[in-house]
Amino acid sequence: MKKALYYLLIALLATQFSSCKKDGESIDNTAEEETPGSIAPVGEADLSARISKSIGLGGGSLSSKDGTIKVEIPAGALESNQEVSIVPITNTNPLGINKGYRLEPHGVEFKKPVKITFSYTDEDIQNTLPEFLGIAYQDKRGVWRAIGGAQVNKTSKQISVNTTHFSDWTFFELLYMIPVHTTIEPGSSVDLKVVCDPDILGPLVEGKEYGINEAEPIPASRVKKWTLSGAGNLTSNGSTAKYKAPGTTPNPSTVAVTAEIDMDLLGKFLVVGHISIAGSFIEFQLGNSPMIKIPASPVVKFGGDYLLANPDNEGGGYFLLRWPGGKGTHGYTMENSGGHFHWLDGVDYVNYYLDDDKVTISGGSINITSMGEDDGWVEGTFTVSPTGSGKPFPRPSVNVSGRFRARKGFQ
């Protein structure tokens, strides 16, 4: 976890995790009551990723195919051989992170506690802290129930609990900022907020279970300060804030918004969101030359291909990038359709070259990460290694690498 993300008082480090209460209420470190939680649908199984293993009296372990969850069954937990399975499911936990996992068979009762461990990455928890991670299962009513006493190992980036039964399981974040990282246009705004489950009392006591509810804004009394690092303007109101970007793309183009949270005796900590300011652009480098940045026209569709260009040769040259289909990685071709790169600024740079009198297609690829499905922005990166350049026939030249962000101009 980056240092800028948080700081904790010694008292907080001694606590597994805390939660937030409504204004005017205090945090009760000795809470004993279980919370009812909200009913959620059952997750849909991905049977293609199911993994199974026969485990008997001697015990054993089983991990999911993606390595996220591991089940360890000690010797003597089972009275006979039992086929144990892990099946990924859609995550319906209101506070859940990534996938959920169905541990089968449901209803099996173990003679000894079984250990369930989730592994996490920095990206998984970039808007929260390891201390605010938990593990939960879904009960027969459909309520996700957090298990008190979960153990977090920040060195190995794992969190574990013990249980005597199987069900659907996830790990979750109890308190976090949204959005954690977003991109907006110059002059536009974005709303930020810190949220938590207000009905879970903390810390989550070992041996207790807590029903999970939908996240709500943290009580305003807990947020002591909002801070902006970078260009633009920030206004705040308790648990929420609004950031307005400057009218042009600043340098640096990414700003940080930090909320300082006060949890009384549990300590203080920071949660951080990052905002990138970017309009339409094409940015690339020819070999070791300075970065070239030019405006981008909306991406259009022509036949089965998508075309990206700069308007009216703005930026000092003619640019064209073409690829077939949508998201994914696309190679280059010599055909009139498919992957193609062209930059002309007095010298032609293209995705092919003459090698021993043989025309060779350049290496590299066009990597499309978004086709504007959610926000109307088409984004991606591209490399050409090497380009061909010169006339009348292109010869091997410099490598090219770049990225782009352009408006979606197609249906």
Burial class (CB in 10 A: 0-12, 13-18, 19+), 237: exposed
Residue 98 pLDDT more than 60? yes
CATH code of the domain occupying 16-175 = 2.60.220.30
Distance of alpha carbon 9 from alpha carbon 11, whole angstroms: 5
Task: Give the CA distances from residue 298 to residues 92, 244, 284, 330, 372, in Å, rounded to whole numbers and listed in that order.
Answer: 36, 24, 18, 20, 11
The more confidently predicted of residues 63 and 262 is 63
The more confidently predicted of residues 17 and 384 is 384
Rounded to the nearest integer, the mean pLDDT of the chain is 88
Q: What is the pLDDT of residues 273-327, one digit of tens each?
A: 999 898 899 999 999 999 999 999 999 999 999 999 999 999 999 999 999 988 9
pLDDT of residue 143: 96
In this structure, the strands spanning 189-196 and 175-178 are antiparallel
pLDDT of residue 24: 37
Is the pTM here over 0.85, yes or no?
A: no
Q: What is the pLDDT of residues 8-29, one digit of tens each?
A: 332 333 334 444 444 433 333 3
pLDDT band at 198 (very low <50, low <70, confident <90, very high): confident
Distance of alpha carbon 27 from alpha carbon 20, whole angstroms: 7
**Residue 406: other Cβ atoms inside 10 A:** 25
Domain ranges of the chain: 16-175, 177-203+214-277, 281-407
Distance of alpha carbon 92 from alpha carbon 85, whole angstroms: 20
Distance of alpha carbon 295 from alpha carbon 303, whole angstroms: 24
Domains 16-175 and 177-203+214-277 alike in fold = no
pLDDT of residue 210: 93
Question: Residues 176-196: what's their mean pLDDT?
Answer: 91
pLDDT band at 183 (very low <50, low <70, confident <90, very high): confident
Distance of alpha carbon 360 from alpha carbon 319, whole angstroms: 21
For the sheet with 300-302, list strands across it: 300-302, 305-309, 318-324, 340-344, 348-350, 388-389, 395-396
Residue 121 pLDDT more than 80? yes
Question: Residues 182-198: what's their mean pLDDT?
Answer: 91
Tokens of 132: 């605010």
Distance of alpha carbon 10 from alpha carbon 331, whole angstroms: 53
CATH 1.10.10 fits 177-203+214-277, yes or no: no
Q: Which parts of 150-267 are beta strand (E)?
A: 151-153, 158-165, 168-173, 175-178, 181-184, 189-196, 209-211, 216-217, 223-229, 233-237, 240-244, 254-262
Q: What is the pLDDT of residues 213-227, one digit of tens each?
A: 999 999 999 999 999
Residue 163 pLDDT more than 50? yes
